[in-house]
Structure formats: structure tokens, C-alpha cells
Chains A and B, each alone.
Chain A
């Protein structure tokens, strides 16, 4: 395998405690960042090649450079810990085992983006993890790392606040504009873009939204340097990444490794292979929204944005769901579609009606009343949703259906005979 040493989740005992985090050099990079200019910080992040870990793999430094350098209005950072994409369970590990790394990342990002405050948005069901993060934030305030006391602690004149905002059970709130509306306390319908959040975000002010894991990488980049970061993993999508491997594997879990690992290596070596040595029928590589791959299509496929694009999928949240040869594909697809139907906010007709339609047809198939024509019907409904909606939940609902039909038609047709 690889002799990679984890940096996001190094496994140091009690690292979630601020005193232990400090003993391991914690908050040293925040201190350094306060003597750097915002532009210098953004340049380092750009040089590192870091791309967002929240789903779209957007270059982080570039995203940061969209923020205005001056202006009347305050700026904000939202740290996205909604983590509700089925198959994703990684940010929770950072909340539990290394929350101060995220907080230090917020301070550095905060300086680069000249923010007034950051909101850490955590899904409502993670109540225990909300409490852990609130404790970590309170400890960081008490030590003078956050808020007004930053001036004394670090010198310089930058200060920012950090607050935790708890969600209440809505997948859509992970979508960045819905997340901002959720924080504003209004019904969290996604917003039409443009304008983009860097111009008009939270309360109409410039805002950047980043995933928890993205932010946790920032102190590491400052500490070890952009060159080091770039040398880890895939050239165009480098760095450490948290793979969440679940489903039919012997050792499911979150593993921190370089990007660009072979999918087969992750499944067979890292996660210990398939129970009963069965064959793999399907793999969803990045959370349930991402196009599924066939078991016989995995050889040579690497887990980075470019490689997955080449085989018609995407990295998403790097949540890898593995399904063995006995898996009922119709049932999986029905369950996935049920999720998107329930979670659609209902704002756009193609998404609201289309997900309902697809679910109806799939349920019919599951009940043994489907025909091969239903597959064509499903495919055309999915294509009508794709690209025709306000937010990407529409695509997230359409892709699994469209690509499962294209890639698993033989399986689905066989299952129609049930």
C-alpha cells in the first residue's frame, strides 16, 4: 500500500482537547497567518492545488480570490458540515477527533477572506458532535484564539467570531445557497445564481462556503507548504483525502490517504475486500448522487476528480459505496430515488414532479409490474430533470437513474422478470 502518514486524523490520543492540540503545535499556523497578508495566504492555497472536499472539487484558492478586497459590507465564511449525502460520514470524524484543526483553518481562511464571522453549519442529527464542536470553539475563545482577544494573542488587528449553527434535518441545506438561507432563518430554498455568494451571500454580504474537510486542510498547507501538499496524490487534485468506505466490505470506515488511490486498492486492501469473497456488482464512488460504476469497470480507476470524470463519474464526497454480486439494483435505485424525492425542496417543477414520477415507476418495477419500456421512460424523465433546475439536487436525482439504466440495463431487465 502506501506509507502515507495521516495529518487530518493523525490518531494522536485526546487531540480534540485544546491543551493536547497546542502541545502538537496547534494554533501556530494561525499565529503565522496573522502576520501574512490575505493575498499571501490565498497564493499559498492556490499553489497547493487544494480543491474543495464538499462535492464539486472546486479550486479553493480560486474561490477565495472571488471575495472583494474592500467594501462597506462585512464578509462571512460558512463551513459546511451538513454532511447528509448518503454514503458520506467523514466530516463527523473531524468534529470528533480534530475540531481544533478546523477552527485553526477557519482563522487562517478568515484572515485571507477578511471575514467578520464564520458559521459552522452542522446537521441537526449530529447533536453530540454539535456539542463537541461548541466545546472546542468555547475553549478556543477562552484561550484568546478567537474573537476580540485575537489582537492580544496574535498581535495585528484582525479579529473574527466563530459560531455553530445547527441544522434540523434537511439534505438541501448542504447546498450552499440553501445553507445561507437556513442560517438567515428563512425557508431554505436554494437561490438562483448569479449573483454568486462572493458578491451576495449571507444577509446580502460577500460570503465563501467551504466544506469542513477543505478548511481542515488549510493549517496543514501552511505548516508543510504548498510543495508538500502538491506532491501528495493526484497531480491535478492533490492532497490528503478522507475516503469513507461503506456497504459490502470487510472493514468499512473512514480512511485518510492521498487522493488518486486505485479504487480496487481501497476496496480490497484498505477496506479488506468483500465478505465471502464475492464479486463486486456496483460501486458508487462519491456519495449517492454520483454516477455508479460497474464492478467490471473498476480496474485502473483512480479516486480523483480527473480520473473519475474519464470513466463517467465524479469524486463527490469520496464516500465509496460497495455492492456485491447479489445486490438488487432495482431496490438500490428505488431507495436512492426515494431519498431525492423526499429531500427535493419542491421549488422547481422538473425536480419536484420528476423525482415523484421516477419513484412511482421504480416502485412499480420493484413490485414486479414493470416492463423494459419503463426503463426508457425513467431515462427520459431523468434527462428532463438534468440541467433544468435551480440547484444541483436535480442533477443529483437524475444521475443515478440515468447512469444506472445506461450501465446496468442487463441487470435491471433481468430483475424485471422477478
Chain B
């Protein structure tokens, strides 16, 4: 559950709006950052923090792509396959990842370190092809860059 400092952050979120329900997205982001996914207990906890009905929180969780109800890899490789990235080599990105760690879209490595996801346009079309790894953007990808990045992540996992 949240620390004192995190609870202060929750209060700050609440203070931005005339209605507590509006703070739900910010608090869910905090929960995601801390636990990696949002369980039923998470929904109950967030609802109690904001004093709003659980169904409302669940309705928000299930609508958005970024709130996961299930565990993903420690490093989420979100590969953009939308048009501008496709034109500049998103196929290569997926293939390089597959060759390197043996998994494709929707899969997680058995050690739970990596998962690969197909992403919609992430607003990096001018530096395509790209993927995000958790909150970091990696742009103008080449096979060398991808291999290097994965090695680096493996080392720190």
C-alpha cells in the first residue's frame, strides 16, 4: 500500500479537481508504477483512497490501454507498428527482438524479464522506427541499437 509520501501525492492529485473521481487516473498511474499491474485489491484500495465506488474505478481501469490487470514483463517492449514506423522498419524491430530473446507480440520471456507488445503510434513518427521500454522512448532503431539495449536491460534486470 502507499507510503506517507505517496499518500501526500494522492492528496495533491485530489486538490487539482472539484471532485475526487477525477483523481482516479493519476492515482491509478501511481499504483501501476508501484505494482506493475492493478489487481482487484488495487481497485478496492484506490476506490477507498478516493472514497468513490469500486465499479467506477474498475470502469476506468478496463477502458485504458496503460492500466494492466495482469502482470507483464519487468521491461515492456512496446513496438510501434503504425504506418510511419511500418514504412521505416517496424518489421525489422520485431524480428530483431524475436531473434534476440525468442518472443513476439503478446509474449513474455519465461524469466518474466521481457514482454513484447504491439503499440499504436506513440508520437515519434519522425524518429521511426521506435519502441518504448517502460517509460523510455528508443528512436531511430537499428538492429545494433536493439541488441545493445536488450543486453543492457538484461544486465540490470
Known contacts: A247-B88, A339-B82. The answer to whether A168 contacts B28 by CB under 8 A is yes
- The segment from A31-39, A125-133, A303-311, A366-374 that touches chain B is A125-133
| Residues of A close to B101: CB separation below 8 A | none
Q: How far is the CA of A124 from the CA of B134 in the complex (A)?
A: 12
A413 interface residue per 8 A CB criterion? no
Known contacts: A184-B22, A203-B19, A247-B88. The answer to whether A126 contacts B123 by CB under 8 A is yes
| Residues of A close to B23: CB separation below 8 A | 185
A88 interface residue per 8 A CB criterion? yes
- CB within 8 Å of A: which B122-145 residues: 122-128, 132, 135-137
- CB within 8 Å of A: which B62-107 residues: 63-67, 81-84, 86-88
Chain B residue nearest to A169 in the complex (CB): B65
Contact of B25 among A85, A87, A182, A203 (CB under 8 A): A182
Contact A87–B121 (Cβ < 8 Å): yes
Q: Could you say which of B60, B81, B132 has the most chain A C-beta atoms within 10 Å of its C-beta?
A: B60
A327 interface residue per 8 A CB criterion? yes
| Residues of A close to B121: CB separation below 8 A | 84-88, 288, 339
Contact A246–B21 (Cβ < 8 Å): no
Q: How many residues of A contact B (CB 8 A)?
A: 52
Chain B residue nearest to A171 in the complex (CB): B120
Contact B67–A168 (Cβ < 8 Å): yes
Closest beta carbon of chain A to B134's beta carbon, Å? 9
A188 interface residue per 8 A CB criterion? yes
Chain A residue nearest to B87 in the complex (CB): A247
| Residues of B close to A288: CB separation below 8 A | 82-83, 121
Contact of B59 among A128, A187, A321 (CB under 8 A): A187
| Residues of A close to B87: CB separation below 8 A | 246-248, 321, 323, 327
B112 interface residue per 8 A CB criterion? no
Contact A185–B24 (Cβ < 8 Å): yes
| Residues of A close to B124: CB separation below 8 A | 89
A140 interface residue per 8 A CB criterion? no
A319 interface residue per 8 A CB criterion? yes
Q: How many residues of B contact A (CB 8 A)?
A: 42
SS of A interface (majority): mixed
Interface string of B4-30 (1 = CB under 8 A from A): 000000000000111111111110110
| Residues of A close to B132: CB separation below 8 A | 125
Closest beta carbon of chain B to A170's beta carbon, Å? 5
Closest beta carbon of chain A to B10's beta carbon, Å? 14
Known contacts: A89-B123, A244-B126. The answer to whether A169 contacts B24 by CB under 8 A is no
| Residues of A close to B34: CB separation below 8 A | none
| Residues of A close to B59: CB separation below 8 A | 186-187
What are 17 A-to-B residue pairs whose CB atoms are below 8 Å? A84-B121, A86-B83, A87-B83, A87-B84, A123-B123, A168-B25, A168-B29, A184-B22, A244-B126, A246-B87, A246-B125, A246-B128, A252-B127, A252-B128, A288-B83, A321-B125, A335-B83
